[in-house]
Amino acid sequence: MRIGQGWDLHRLEKGRPLIIGGVTIPFEKGCAAHSDGDVLIHALIDALLGAAAEGNIGILFPDSDPQYKNADSRELLRETVKRLSPRWKTVNVDATVVLQAPKLNPFIDEMRSRLAADLNLDTAAVSIKPKTHEKIGSVGRGEAVEAFVSVLITPAE
């Protein structure tokens, strides 16, 4: 078995949708990014690629490539799973999303369900914990959002 970790941070700006874990969350700001800016999925992709020793999201889906402009991060996740599936199977995901506002608890079940579907997992194998930054730093001031993800993968059968 292998363990991977991923981390991502995006600046928040007005006029962008806030998409986390494949769920659009009503809020006046969203992630500044080349793609849709889904910080949780970006960290998850990095965790998967890291566990498999397959590089990182910037290598697989470079922001210099126009085909990824405003890309749906769930599609990028499914492509990552497809790329790894001949050799690796995801066992579980443990994630933390750090965002001062809005509160994410009402959206966690939907995030878990969508990520589980994209990973071909039971929802019980996907954990997402929302946290605040206690008004400290860029995340605490509402300027950014970050995500930390750990994954366990095993060889495919």
97-149 pLDDT tens trace:
999 999 999 999 999 999 999 999 999 999 999 999 999 999 999 999 999 99
Q: What is the pLDDT of residue 87?
A: 97
Q: Which helix (H) or strand (E) holds 79?
A: helix 73-84
The mean pLDDT value for 45-62 works out to: 96
Cβ-proximal residues to 89 (8 Å cutoff; 6+ apart), any chain: 153, 154, 155, 156, 157
Given a contact cutoff of 8 angstroms between Cβ atoms, the answer to whether 100 and 139 are in contact is yes
Q: What is the pLDDT of residue 157?
A: 81
Residues in the chain: 157
- For residue 29 the two structure tokens come to 């700001």
Per residue in 67-111, pLDDT (tens digit) is 888 899 999 999 999 999 999 999 999 999 999 999 999 999 999
Position 66 confidence tier, pLDDT thresholds 50, 70, 90? confident
Q: What is the pLDDT of residue 146?
A: 98
Question: Taking CA 86 as the corner, what is the angle to CA 80 and CA 91, rounded to the nearest 5 degrees?
Answer: 70
Cβ-proximal residues to 64 (8 Å cutoff; 6+ apart), any chain: none
Fold of 2-155: 60s Ribosomal Protein L30; Chain: A; (3.30.1330)
Q: What is the pLDDT of residue 54?
A: 96
Strand arrangement, sheet containing 144-155: 29-31, 2-14, 144-155, 88-98, 126-131
Domain ranges of the chain: 2-155
